Amino acid sequence: MDPILSVRDLVVEVDTGSAVHKVIDGVSLDLYPGKTLGVVGESGCGKSMTALATMGLLPDRFRVAGGSIQLAGEEMTTVKPSRLRQLRGNAISMIFQEPMTSLNPLLTVERQIAEVVELHQQKSRAEARDIALEMLRAVQIPSPEARLAAYPHELSGGMRQRVMIAIALACRPKVIIADEPTTALDVTVQAQIFRLLRDLQMDTETAIMLITHDLGAVAEMADEVAVFYAGRSIETGPVAQILDTPAHPYTRGLMSCTPRLKLGAQAREPDAGALGEIPGMVPPLGRFPKACRFAPRCALADARCTHDAPPKVALNDAHAALCWHAKEEAFA
């Protein structure tokens, strides 16, 4: 199966006025129809910036400086702005992290869904209203007819997030990028949102890029995983292999920071439920180490890690890590 979205050696730069820095440095990703790619890592590691570059929504002073982004074989980095607007919202959509700031507070739910359909599908206002109602039913909003006339502030956080999903799905896109779609929602609503995305994906064969810092969400939703650190994708592979046999020390560190329930005799052990931590912080922009970017925080770092850039080590055909010690970690 060919990927519907292929990112190759992506480089994103920012001009701070005093210097130009690489925010994303050589990231490669593939999304396949009907599959979910989980993108994980600490805040500031480049997850959302990769998504914005893919959508053509980079902020001022940021630019794609290298690499390729192909959607169904069409190069996104060189298309005209008019063509990009045709694709965005139609063939590729994004669910943003905070719906209250992403939805227009002055427009009703109906208008915000319907205008996407009118612009991209050339539907009449009446047809667009019917599709908006259909989308609200699809995302399981109660009393959908009444909610069409509601404004964002009149909805709960879970409902606003469902409206965002309805907007993203209105034109049946080939790719959806979900940037932490359940942030600030309670666990019950999170479970409902994930179940909704899975069900809709089964119906539409949409490819999903799920950006999150929650490994529990990755375990539940993702088929493949890409672990980001300091603007690079440092480990990629099937979700089961990443979670069962992580090959990069950073991935192991992330997993050690995840709470796990201990039952029975294990719950009475002194360290039961204890959380690990990754010492130090992600290096600030412009101060990335020249060799391994994780070396200053890594217990396995040696002279080679601080002087030579790590190779991409293949553990098998599907699992790879950017680390000198990858095989040691994977088979430890």
| pLDDT tens string 38-85 | 999 988 899 999 999 999 999 999 999 999 999 999 999 999 999 999
Give the rounded percent of residues in the chain with a pLDDT score beyond 90.
Answer: 64
Q: Which of 9, 12, 71 is nearest to 45 (CA)?
A: 12
Tally of CA atoms within 13 A in the half-sphere of 141 that contains its CB: 28
Angle between helix 109-121 and helix 125-138 axes, rounded to 10 deg: 120
Give the mean pLDDT of the chain.
89
Q: Which of 129, 43, 53 is nearest to 84 (CA)?
A: 53
Tell me: the pLDDT tens digits for 155-164? 988 889 889 9
Say if CB 99 and CB 45 are below 8 A apart: no
Say if CB 63 and CB 234 are below 8 A apart: no
pLDDT value of residue 82: 92
Tell me: the pLDDT tens digits for 119-152? 898 899 999 999 999 999 988 899 999 999 999 9
Tell me: the pLDDT tens digits for 187-233? 887 888 888 888 888 888 999 999 998 888 899 899 999 999 999 99
Q: Which of 110, 139, 159, 116 is nearest to 203 (CA)?
A: 139
Say if CB 292 and CB 301 are below 8 A apart: yes
- pLDDT category, 329, cuts 50, 70, 90? low
Tell me: the pLDDT tens digits for 260-299? 644 444 444 545 456 678 888 888 888 899 899 999 999 9
Say if CB 319 and CB 328 are below 8 A apart: no
Say if CB 274 and CB 256 are below 8 A apart: no
Cα–Cα dist 178/176, whole Å = 6
pLDDT value of residue 267: 44
Tokens of 92: 């590729």
- CA-CA distances (angstroms) from residue 49 to 23, 44, 139, 217, 299? 8, 9, 27, 20, 28
Q: How far apart are the first and last CA of the chain?
A: 33
- Per-residue pLDDT for 303 more than 60? yes
Tokens of 309: 């850039």
Element (H, E) at 178: strand 175-179
Tokens of 59: 């902020």
Q: Which of 177-186, 248-257, 259-268 holds the top average pLDDT?
A: 248-257
Handedness of CA 278, 284, 287, 291 (dihedral sign): positive
* Strand ranges across the sheet with 320-322: 92-95, 175-179, 207-212, 36-40, 224-229, 232-238, 320-322, 312-314
91-125 core/surface letters (b: 16 or more CB in 10 A; e: else):
bbbbbbbebeebbeeeebbbbbbbbbbbebeebee
Alpha helices per DSSP H over 183-229:
187-204, 215-221
E strands within 16-165? 20-31, 36-40, 62-71, 74-75, 92-95
pLDDT value of residue 330: 59
C-alpha torsion 121→123→127→130, nearest 10: 30
Tokens of 311: 């190779």
pLDDT value of residue 99: 75
Q: pTM of the entire structure? A: 0.89
Span 7-27, mean pLDDT? 94
Cα–Cα dist 107/151, whole Å = 6
- Per-residue pLDDT for 300 more than 60? yes
pLDDT value of residue 151: 96
CA 40 to chain centre: 7
pLDDT value of residue 200: 80
